[in-house]
Structure 1
């Protein structure tokens, strides 16, 4: 009985050691921390990234590793990719592939310019949902929730992604092209003709130009004008009164104001509801999807005091820099924006 008790204690001690989480020292022996989870998981020719990125960023990160976002050319490729995801203990969050649907004739392509022939869509997909700002679902993911079937997503969504060593047939000089959330300009087009067997054949037209980001540059004006005069002045300079379409835009505009040591006086944006039945839109016609209103606004305050309707959006002064609805006739500083093209893959 005594020997059995000693054996049980030894087994329990070993189990506790095995179950103990891996620890590492950061140079201070008094401080131990769990070993960080890997964000890059190499398995065979694949490299899984378990940090989230949009489709464009995923493509760029793969290229920075001299790899490609995965193309799934056959059932064997698909089975291998699914096995790799499961082997990494992943599947709850979706993974980007290189597949996308070009604006020309809605044809599906992989990032290596091969037309998609084998498919493994989830039932009812692709369904091509369109967002309020006009973005279409154009990029192919391997679905999360451990479904691991193909699905179409907005290319601006952030997912995990998988890079692979390039297939020998990939032409590394070919750029990848798609329309991305109205932030990406592409001029790569393809034509089609029919051969003698009436089979559709893809034929490249003139040398494609590369994919570009539209990079915003801000011009801050510290003369006080009405909203309409701010709009006119920006247009006279070949610019436009600032549109804030996302949190990233908002953060960048606020940083530009701070960099210019401004903020005491408010700044006009292009947002207004003057010609849209009471609904706020930006100067480029897009609806407000992201907002950063000051607490309690929009409140149309001046309408209650007889001064008129507050129908234009300012970035509020007094260094608050939250959104506020204001009389369009009020005189504020203003910000014009300039969109410049930057080659996506030369950054």
Structure 2
């Protein structure tokens, strides 16, 4: 029942925003200097302009490569980008919609690293670890019951956030996991503008 409610909400939200004329959409006709077709010419990392930013989604099926959070973060930095920070419900919906538009991005069992990380310096909070000073989360979309202090505890340093796309129950939600976790992980980079 919850799956249907979430899908109905997302559909109604999309219709209302489109009718209002304010839904940012991918615009592949924008300047290549602002948003390349592929991150660092790597065809496994296609990029699109969504709204006013460039987003690059790793799609590693061809090379069967997975990344931990640190590796993904370094790849984005090397391209003068950052790992994704989802700061609003609208941006969350925009990213989720891209997965629906490009099904190759959301095949099971993959999920995507974001810049979300539990504070490493004692703030006891989740924050977007892109550019210092790191900003605390103001918007969240955790899978129900997460993050947790019990069984296993993941509300602690060394844990990062990944975004799920791969089934009706979990799709679109955020998960905390060990930053060193590699299995099935892709990443999303975004421009710093």
Question: Normalised by the shorter chain, which TM-score bucket?
Answer: 0.5 to 0.7
Alignment of 1:98-117 (within 5 A): 98-103=115-120, 104-112=122-130, 113-117=134-138
Aligned length: 128
What is the match of residue 162 of structure 1? 188
Which structure has the highest helix share of the two?
A: 2
107, 114, 128: which one aligns with 1:97: 114
* d(CA) in 1 for partners of 2:148, 2:46: 31
Name the SS for the 1:163 alignment partner: strand
What is the match of residue 54 of structure 1? 68
What is the match of residue 99 of structure 2? 85
Measured after TM superposition, the shift of residue 145 of structure 1 is: 2.4
- Give a deviation string over 1:278-336, Cα, whole Å, max 9, x none: xxxxxxxxxxxxxxxxxxxxxxxxxxxxxxxxxxxxxxxxxxxxxxxxxxxxxxxxxxx
Query: Please, what is the CA RMSD of the aligned residues?
Result: 2.2
Alignment of 1:291-306 (within 5 A): none
Conservation of the 8 A alpha-carbon contact between 2:159 and 2:176: yes
Which structure has the highest strand share of the two?
A: 1
Q: Which runs of 5+ in 2 are unaligned?
A: 1-41, 61-65
Q: Which runs of 5+ in 1 are unaligned?
A: 1-36, 168-347
What is the match of residue 147 of structure 2? 126
Measured after TM superposition, the shift of residue 115 of structure 1 is: 1.2
* d(CA) in 2 for partners of 1:144, 1:136: 25
- Give a deviation string over 1:195-250, Cα, whole Å, max 9, x none: xxxxxxxxxxxxxxxxxxxxxxxxxxxxxxxxxxxxxxxxxxxxxxxxxxxxxxxx
Conservation of the 8 A alpha-carbon contact between 1:130 and 1:137: no
Name the SS for the 1:72 alignment partner: coil
Measured after TM superposition, the shift of residue 120 of structure 1 is: 0.5
* d(CA) in 2 for partners of 1:127, 1:137: 14
Measured after TM superposition, the shift of residue 148 of structure 1 is: 2.1
Measured after TM superposition, the shift of residue 87 of structure 1 is: 2.2
Higher relative contact order (CA 8 A, sep 6+): 2
Measured after TM superposition, the shift of residue 71 of structure 1 is: 0.5
* d(CA) in 2 for partners of 1:102, 1:114: 10
What is the match of residue 89 of structure 2? 75
* d(CA) in 2 for partners of 1:84, 1:59: 21
What is the match of residue 268 of structure 1? none
* d(CA) in 2 for partners of 1:142, 1:95: 5
Measured after TM superposition, the shift of residue 130 of structure 1 is: 4.7
Name the SS for the 1:53 alignment partner: coil
